[in-house]
């Protein structure tokens, strides 16, 4: 196996199967090779493949002998292109060693820069660069990074030594340290290494290299990388590649710089270059958020009212070259690019390009703009937008007219608005979130160790760091609003106190962030619903043109139905009628029905409910004007409608007109050990047909009263046998005939069933003889197939996902392998009996993109999702079909 592939200097190893192969070369490696081969200035280097990472772990974290020769060949290649030699004191080659997995994992894995420096080569570097200060600064940075990343020594000690060196001289900035100061600092660092590591700092450059390569592979299994993978569904067996590349220096004085750029604005999608750079700095300085970077373009600088010159102004010719590269890269990769570059003494070098992470808003705008410009097709535009990312757009923004108690503002690092309780560390964020509290995570700056807290938080606020700081990048990726670099915050994390603008806030106080403007406000600010026009509307039109399945909504109130319509629902796939029974104006009649001693008593109560249900259905039919509406007859066990607390019994008994003892006794009678498998679903209809009769009558009376008659689809829950469905269909048909006779009018309707028990799926051919549609109730079907209670699963399912027992929570994303088989069986058998049987899904999975892809594959006619998920489902259904 070939484990090393070279790039740059006119060389590009590997054939068509390797070129651009991110699985093998990692994203960074594939694109470095890609940029080099289209003639862009890339420092020469080589990539050690992800297969090597897998082999490294398979062989007890050791390297096969063959790879040593390959790496030596890689180094020789860099030496040949640069004319320098590795470890040569006269003309030393320095390299960077960076990780690069298939997909980017910002800040999760390790990097070592300036590798190849030792006590001898540092002198050579001083001579060859003509800059002793630069050489010693590079050496001290290298020792610091190597000690942290490879030797895993406490980096605090090194930072302290640096601070001490500055204080001794009365300096404020690192840049004030002279060559001699830095030389002394290097000596101090080396002592620190020896004291903590027990051995002197490695002087052999090859040992340095293998140490760094091992550390990068090792970082793949670090805790933070594992957490990131879990949150982002990245498989652990992908591994990372390692990229070794000639160093170029952005810290060689005022004509050198380093920067990060996007070819379009990653927050808004605006077609304008966007980025930050620092003069006389090395790569990590920009991302680490230690120095506040300067703007790339003049326009951005002026808009922000900032003073330090933009790159466009300070380095006009290099900037022009960079802009040309941006255009080439966008046209080549046909997507917005996220770029790292370095300028070494006015020469531009490209260090990385990749498709840029972006907010949902930007993703939409970029996809639509690129399709309209003809760079991609409309189908590609539809495929480019992550359906789940729409969630960000479908959620509220701050009401512009609501009063705001603005405390300060920072950078608008990730859009959206959020309110929550202040917390100062990631663990507390997680703990509060587990208790159902919305939190805002407030940090001086974030690091990869904070990732679980960022995930748990509704929003993130940092005192330091730019738009490309860790906090900003990660928050945008997660869709969390983020305000970064709010410099006026004084954070005392240990004391759990935040001081802003002369005010003092403590843990638990409410804060509101507007990640779109950068404002930070005290208290909670009300929010507004988003508008669904513009790019969103355009993309949805393209998506609708591409999809086969219909998208309906789960809704039981006219308001929800209207929201669903506004979001583009093409009918209702599940109206859960029990929700109507909980309404304050009806619950008493419901309870009277439950408490009645006989059918006669029940009918008296049901007569009171009939006009109420009729009103409900009429309102929903009106909103859905002529679209299909699936109404499910009563499903939950009756005791759910009775009070559970001692304190409620008296009042309820009085309202229902029975003695408290009668009520208690009836409640006790109805108690079940396993309510989910108890007297619920069609089992209620079998024992009390009059309940379903009343509901059916209400549906038909409502339908007949309308000018545009809907086609009600009456759905029987929890059916396991054909006979159950037959009995219930008779009840419905009889009610229909009675109403039609009374009204002198007939309407079309369907009677069908949910498939939510394994038996129903297995016997679907028989059941289809009676039912004319199936709706997969995958919440219950998952519960009954897995034998996992949907109400109790939260306690242990995360462990199951952590341990890889299920790839994802099966109540969120369909267990395609298991539950999916039952759906396939039922669909096939149902169609065999009744070729035109209507098939849909109405469990939560109907709004989950991966599950929707499965529904497309098995040929369902529609998916039904909660109203806010309807656009997500429309886009996911289109992507599944394209």
* Complex with ligand PEP: residue 481 or 843, whichever CB lies closer: 843
Torsion, Cα of 544, 547, 553, 554 (10° steps): -160
CA distances from 516 to 185, 392, 542 (A): 43, 12, 27
Q: Is 779 annotated as a binding residue?
A: yes
The DSSP output letter for 245 is E
User: Which distant-in-sequence residues (6+ apart) come within 8 Å of 668 by Cβ?
Assistant: none
User: Which distant-in-sequence residues (6+ apart) come within 8 Å of 235 by Cβ?
Assistant: 229
Q: Which of 470, 482, 575, 682 is catalytic?
A: 470
* Complex with ligand PEP: residue 576 or 666, whichever CB lies closer: 576
Work out the widest C-alpha separation in the chain, in whole angstroms.
Answer: 104
Minimum Å gap between C-beta 519 and ligand PEP is 40
Q: Is 778 annotated as a binding residue?
A: yes
Buried/exposed 329-351: b ≥16 CB within 10 Å, e otherwise? bbeebebbbbbbbbbbeeebbbb
Q: Is 632 annotated as a binding residue?
A: yes
The DSSP output letter for 448 is G
CA distances from 836 to 156, 598, 726 (A): 70, 41, 19
C-alpha–C-alpha distance, residues 463 and 486, integer Å: 4
Stretch that binds Mg ion, among 622-630, 728-736, 769-777, 821-829 (CB under 5 A): 769-777
Size of the site for Mg ion (CB under 5 A): 3
* Complex with Mg ion: residue 412 or 777, whichever CB lies closer: 777
* Binding residue (CB under 6 A) for ligand PEP from 337, 462, 778, 879: 778
Stretch that binds ligand PEP, among 103-111, 704-712, 778-786, 809-817 (CB under 6 A): 778-786
Minimum Å gap between C-beta 773 and ligand PEP is 14
Partner from Mg ion, ligand PEP, none contacting 410, C-beta within 5 to 8 A by type: none
* Complex with ligand PEP: residue 125 or 631, whichever CB lies closer: 631
Partner from ligand PEP, Mg ion, none contacting 576, C-beta within 5 to 8 A by type: ligand PEP
Minimum Å gap between C-beta 617 and ligand PEP is 18
The reply on whether position 777 binds ligand PEP by CB under 6 A is yes
Determine the Cα angle at 823 with ends 821 and 825, to 5°: 70
Minimum Å gap between C-beta 694 and ligand PEP is 20
The reply on whether position 573 binds Mg ion by CB under 5 A is no
Q: Is 576 annotated as a binding residue?
A: yes
* Complex with ligand PEP: residue 479 or 843, whichever CB lies closer: 843
- Cα within 13 Å of Cα(687), Cβ side: 12
Partner from ligand PEP, Mg ion, none contacting 842, C-beta within 5 to 8 A by type: ligand PEP
The reply on whether position 779 binds ligand PEP by CB under 6 A is yes
Partner from Mg ion, ligand PEP, none contacting 843, C-beta within 5 to 8 A by type: ligand PEP
User: Which distant-in-sequence residues (6+ apart) come within 8 Å of 189 by Cβ?
Assistant: 140, 143, 144, 147, 158, 161, 201
C-alpha–C-alpha distance, residues 520 and 8, integer Å: 47
* Binding residue (CB under 5 A) for Mg ion from 100, 283, 777, 830: 777
| Whether residue 639 lies in the annotated active site | no
C-alpha–C-alpha distance, residues 753 and 773, integer Å: 6
3-state secondary structure of 747: coil
Among left, alpha and beta (phi > 0; psi -120 to 50; other), residue 536 is alpha
* Binding residue (CB under 6 A) for ligand PEP from 185, 596, 842, 852: 842
* Complex with ligand PEP: residue 26 or 843, whichever CB lies closer: 843
Q: Which of 452, 842, 845, 855 is catalytic?
A: 842
Minimum Å gap between C-beta 155 and ligand PEP is 51
CA distances from 217 to 52, 55, 208, 210 (A): 9, 11, 14, 11
* Binding residue (CB under 5 A) for Mg ion from 137, 386, 519, 780: 780
Q: Which residues partner with 513 through β-bridges?
A: 418, 520
The reply on whether position 574 binds ligand PEP by CB under 6 A is yes
Size of the site for ligand PEP (CB under 6 A): 10
Stretch that binds Mg ion, among 293-301, 520-528, 778-786, 849-857 (CB under 5 A): 778-786
Per-residue contact track with ligand PEP, 748 to 767, x per CB under 6 A? --------x-----------
Rounded to 5 degrees, what are φ and ψ at 648? -90, -20
Stretch that binds Mg ion, among 576-584, 652-660, 670-678, 771-779 (CB under 5 A): 771-779
Of 686, 596, 698, which Cα lies nearest the Cα of 641?
Answer: 596
* Complex with Mg ion: residue 519 or 635, whichever CB lies closer: 635
Minimum Å gap between C-beta 631 and Mg ion is 14
| Whether residue 679 lies in the annotated active site | no
Cβ-based neighbour number of residue 227 at 10 Å: 17
Minimum Å gap between C-beta 621 and Mg ion is 23
Q: Is 291 annotated as a binding residue?
A: no
| Tokens matching residue 303 | 């808009």
Cβ-based neighbour number of residue 664 at 10 Å: 15
C-alpha–C-alpha distance, residues 879 and 34, integer Å: 28
3-state secondary structure of 292: coil
* Complex with Mg ion: residue 269 or 777, whichever CB lies closer: 777
Instruction: Give the residue carrying structure tokens 């005392």.
Output: 492
C-alpha–C-alpha distance, residues 738 and 736, integer Å: 5
Annotated binding site for substrate, which residues? 576, 632, 756, 777-780
Annotated binding site for Mg(2+), which residues? 756, 780
- What residue ranges bind ligand PEP (CB under 6 A)? 574, 576, 635, 756, 777-780, 842-843
- What residue ranges bind Mg ion (CB under 5 A)? 756, 777, 780
Among all residues, which ones are annotated catalytic?
Answer: 470, 842
């Amino acid at each position: 196996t070939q484990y090393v592939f070279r790039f740059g200097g006119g060389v590009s190893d590997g054939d068509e199967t390797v070129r651009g192969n991110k699985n093998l070369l990692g994203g960074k490696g594939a694109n470095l090779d890609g940029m080099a081969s289209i003639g862009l200035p890339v420092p020469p280097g080589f990539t050690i493949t992800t297969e090597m990472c897998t082999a490294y772990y398979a062989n007890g974290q050791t390297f096969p002998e063959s790879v040593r020769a390959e790496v030596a060949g890689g180094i020789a290649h860099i030496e040949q292109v640069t004319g320098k030699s590795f470890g040569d004191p006269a003309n030393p080659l320095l390299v960077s060693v960076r990780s690069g997995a298939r997909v980017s994992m910002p800040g999760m894995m390790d990097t070592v820069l300036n590798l190849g420096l030792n006590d001898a080569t540092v002198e050579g570097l001083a001579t060859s660069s003509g800059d002793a200060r630069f050489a010693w600064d590079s050496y001290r940075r290298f020792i610091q990074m190597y000690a942290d990343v490879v030797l895993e020594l406490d980096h605090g000690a090194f930072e302290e030594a640096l601070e001490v060196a500055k204080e001794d001289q009365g300096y404020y900035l690192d840049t004030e340290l002279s060559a001699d100061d830095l030389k002394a600092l290097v000596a101090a660092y080396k002592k620190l290494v020896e004291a903590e590591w027990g051995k002197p700092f490695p002087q052999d450059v090859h040992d340095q290299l293998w140490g760094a390569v091992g550390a990068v592979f090792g970082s793949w299994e670090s805790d933070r990388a594992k957490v990131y993978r879990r949150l982002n569904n990245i498989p652990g067996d992908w591994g990372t590649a390692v990229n070794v590349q000639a160093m170029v220096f952005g810290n060689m004085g005022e004509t050198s710089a380093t920067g990060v750029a996007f070819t379009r604005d990653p927050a808004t999608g605006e077609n304008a270059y966007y980025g930050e750079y620092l003069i006389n700095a090395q790569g990590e300085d920009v991302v680490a958020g230690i120095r506040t970077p300067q703007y790339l373009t003049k326009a951005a600088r002026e808009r922000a009212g900032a003073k330090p010159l933009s790159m466009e102004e300070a380095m006009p010719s290099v900037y022009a070259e960079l802009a040309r590269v941006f255009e080439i890269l966008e046209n080549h990769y046909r997507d917005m690019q996220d770029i790292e570059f370095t300028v070494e003494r006015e020469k531009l070098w490209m260090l990385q390009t990749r498709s840029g992470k972006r907010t949902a808003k930007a993703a939409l705008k970029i996809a639509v703009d690129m399709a309209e410009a003809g760079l991609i097709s409309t189908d590609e535009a539809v495929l480019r937008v992550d359906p789940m990312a729409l969630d960000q757009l479908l959620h509220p923004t701050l009401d512009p007219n609501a009063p705001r108690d603005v405390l300060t503002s920072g950078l608008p690092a990730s859009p959206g608005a959020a309110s929550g309780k202040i917390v100062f560390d990631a663990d507390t964020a997680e703990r509060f979130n587990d208790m159902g509290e919305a939190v805002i995570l407030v940090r001086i700056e974030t690091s990869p160790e904070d990732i679980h807290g960022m995930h748990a938080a509704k929003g993130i606020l940092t005192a330091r760091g730019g738009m490309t700081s860790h906090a900003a990048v990660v928050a945008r990726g997660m869709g969390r609003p983020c305000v970064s670099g709010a410099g006026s915050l004084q954070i005392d994390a240990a004391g759990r106190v935040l001081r802003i603008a002369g005010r003092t806030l403590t843990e638990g106080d409410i804060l509101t962030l507007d990640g779109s403007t950068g404002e930070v406000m005290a208290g909670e600010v009300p929010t507004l619903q988003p508008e669904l026009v513009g790019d969103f509307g355009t993309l949805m039109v393209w998506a609708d043109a591409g999809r086969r399945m219909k998208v309906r909504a789960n809704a039981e109130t006219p308001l929800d139905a209207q929201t669903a319509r506004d979001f583009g629902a093409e009918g209702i796939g599940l109206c859960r009628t029990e929700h109507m029974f909980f309404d304050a104006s009806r619950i008493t009649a419901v309870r009277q029905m439950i408490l009645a001693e006989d059918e006669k008593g029940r009918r008296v109560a049901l007569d009171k409910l009939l006009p109420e249900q009729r009103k409900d259905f009429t309102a929903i039919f009106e909103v859905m004007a002529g679209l299909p509406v699936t109404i499910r007859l009563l499903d939950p066990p009756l005791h759910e409608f009775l009070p559970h607390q001692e304190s409620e019994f008296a009042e309820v008994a009085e309202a229902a007109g029975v003695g408290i003892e009668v009520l208690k006794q009836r409640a006790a009678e109805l108690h079940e050990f396993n309510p989910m498998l108890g007297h619920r679903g069609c089992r209620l209809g079998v024992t009390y047909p009059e309940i379903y009769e009343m509901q059916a009558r209400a549906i038909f009376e409502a339908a007949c009263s309308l000018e545009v008659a809907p086609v009600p689809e009456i759905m029987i829950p929890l059916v396991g046998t054909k006979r159950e469905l037959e009995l219930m269909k008779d009840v419905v048909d009889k009610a229909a005939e009675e109403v039609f006779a009374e009204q002198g009018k007939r309407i079309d309707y369907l009677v069908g069933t949910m498939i939510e028990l394994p038996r129903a799926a297995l016997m679907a051919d028989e059941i289809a003889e009676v039912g004319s549609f199936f709706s997969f109730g995958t919440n219950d079907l998952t519960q009954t197939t897995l034998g996992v209670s949907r109400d109790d699963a939260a306690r242990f399912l995360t462990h199951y996902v952590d341990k890889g027992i299920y790839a994802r929570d099966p109540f969120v994303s369909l267990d395609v392998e298991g539950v999916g088989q039952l759906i396939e069986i039922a669909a096939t058998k149902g169609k065999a009996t009744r070729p035109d049987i209507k098939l849909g899904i109405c469990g939560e999975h109907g709004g989950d993109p991966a599950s929707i892809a499965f529904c497309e594959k098995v040929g369902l006619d529609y998916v039904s999702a909660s109203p806010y998920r309807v656009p997500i489902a429309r886009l996911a259904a289109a992507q599944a079909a394209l």
